[in-house]
Amino acid sequence: MIRELVQSLPLFVLAALCAHAALKPGGMDAIQSGVPWYDQNGRIVSARGAGVIGEGGRHYLFGEFKQDHGNAFVGFACYSSPDLVNWIFESVALPPQPDGRLGPGRVGERPKVMKCPATGEFVMYMHTDDARYRDPAVGYATSPSITGPYTFRGPLLLNGAVVKKWDMSVFQDDDGSGYLITHSGNLYALADDYTSVTRQIVKDMTPGCESPAIFKRDGLYYWLGSGLTAWERNDNYYFTAASLAGPWERQGAFAPEGTLTWNSQTTFVLPVVGSETTTYMFMGDRWAHPRQNSAATYVWQPLRFDAAGKISLPTFHPGWKVNTETGRWSPAESASKIIGIRDSDRLTASENWIRHNDDAGFSDLRSNVKGASLTFAFTGSQIGLYGVARPDGGFGEVRIEDSDGRVVLTSVIETYCRYSEASLKFLSPRLTPGDYTLTVTVLGERFFWQAKRAAYGSTGDYVSVQKFLVVD
């Protein structure tokens, strides 16, 4: 059995997990949106379309365990954390199945887990589909323990019929009742054992509205969702209602319009309930097809509420944290110094990097020539890289080497955005203090996706370097 499981795991899962000795994963002190995250082994935290549940004083993150260069289901990953900042890889909680709805070449997305109060069982729900998204169904899997392994049970049924929906999520109300939410404004009540649907409560409330998420605060229900642009970003919006059955009132965008939800798509809202207050954490995905494993990032932000209960994300917090004891959040303080590209005598660039000043007032070095590289030498315990993302941005490789030329870490960044935006694109795990180099290399690749009769993505392969962040 174990042997079978091992054989079915993708190669990158089995690759040796021997992190370079200079890497000190686990010492991060802030939730950093828009940069790759690393687990205890220095590997990418790959949990897209995720949800989080609390259990036994820890938070558990479940999401799509992605691969680069392919959209087929390679499993749902489970990570755990004491602080919502540092994530421990626990397991591939549900691996690809030998056949059926999550079999070879199929699609599996948006896993969400709830603990059933009636049975004590953990139930995972997900979107299953064929490679062309023409056979959608909501499936479920169960496990006696939170980290799995989960057993795939097939599609969820309503009166014996398969729930043929794609984007989905779940919601557990205060009384323990469980609900399934899907795209286009559909809401269903789950049976007491959480393994079937008993009735539909809301039907086709709003056309489109993908990546749905429901949460409740002070007796008011919130329903968030995205526009229908596949993995491209758009201005997500929300509805509120005093009862799950509605009426649901449309409230509009919750991030400033034009920011495209700070370049993300909703996946979940986590109430971090503390002794003093509750922080409601918006969780979004910044997809990066076809580099969904290495270059996709998380956009997790604290939601604000006004006196009337309206939500917003008025500013982008690149680094912040939430005290899981008290429930209070605060911006992260940083002991870093910022080094611009103009004042750095520690920077060497190959040909083909051009100084660029754009209409938005940003100045950077950029290149779209595959293989062009730029190296920055630094002394410290952590390195970050800022870039300017633009509509013609592409993927770049980031490599850290120690003073003996040994590779400490390689990672992939993306500097694509449908408007010009400058922010942190890479932040290393903690390093043993010392001398290192950071090299950025243009990969000559870009975000693209063709689906639902439309094409999305970048118009170019430019990688941008704006400045560096160094922690002593």
Name the site residues for ligand GAL (rule: CB under 6 A). 49, 109-110, 167, 210-211, 230-231, 265, 451
How far is Cα 336 from Cα 345, in angstroms, rounded to an integer?
Answer: 19
Of 298 and 436, the one with the shorter C-beta distance to ligand GAL is 298
Amino acid identity of 174? D
Task: Quote the Cα angle for 365-366-369, to 5°.
Answer: 145
Pairwise CA distance, residues 67 & 293, whole Å: 5
Residue indicated by tokens 């999305």:
456
Whole-number minimum distance, CB 72 to ligand GAL, in Å?
A: 13
Q: Tokens 């059995």 label which residue?
A: 1
Name the residue with the smallest CB distance to ligand GAL. Answer: 230
Residue 27 vs residues 31, 42, 173, 339: alpha-carbon distances, Å? 12, 11, 35, 23
CB 426 → ligand GAL: shortest distance, Å?
25
Least Å from the CB of residue 228 to ligand GAL: 6
CB of residue 166 vs ligand GAL: minimum separation in angstroms? Answer: 6
Q: What is the 3-state secondary structure (H, E, C) of 345-384?
A: CCEEECCCCEEEECCCCCEEEEECCCCCEEEEEEEECEEE
Query: CB-based burial of residue 271 (10 Å sphere; 0-12 exposed, 13-18 middle, 19+ buried)?
Result: middle
Tell me whether residue 28 or residue 61 sits nearer to ligand GAL (CB atom).
61
What's the chain's length in residues? 472
Minimum CB–partner distance for residue 138 and ligand GAL (Å): 13
Nearer to ligand GAL, 229 or 420 (CB): 229
**Which residues fall within 8 angstroms of residue 245, CB to CB, at 6 or more apart?**
201, 202
Quick one: 305 or 448, whose CB is closer to ligand GAL?
A: 448
Q: CA 417, 419, 420: angle at the middle one, nearest 5?
A: 90
C-beta of 50 vs 424, nearer to ligand GAL: 50
Q: CB–CB of 232/15 below 8 Å? A: no
Nearest approach, Cβ of 61 to ligand GAL (angstroms)?
A: 17
Q: How far is the CB of 110 from ligand GAL (least distance, A)?
A: 6
* 187: enclosing H helix or E strand: strand 186-190
CB of 207 to ligand GAL, least distance (A): 13
What number of other Cβ atoms are within 10 A of residue 395's Cβ?
25
Cβ-based nearer residue to ligand GAL, 14 or 455:
455
d(CA 27, CA 85): 9
Q: Which is nearer to ligand GAL, 49 or 51 (CB)?
A: 49
Nearer to ligand GAL among residue 110 and residue 467 (C-beta): 110
- Compute the least distance from the CB of residue 167 to ligand GAL, in Å: 5
Query: Which residue, 64 or 397, is less far from ligand GAL as judged by CB?
Result: 64
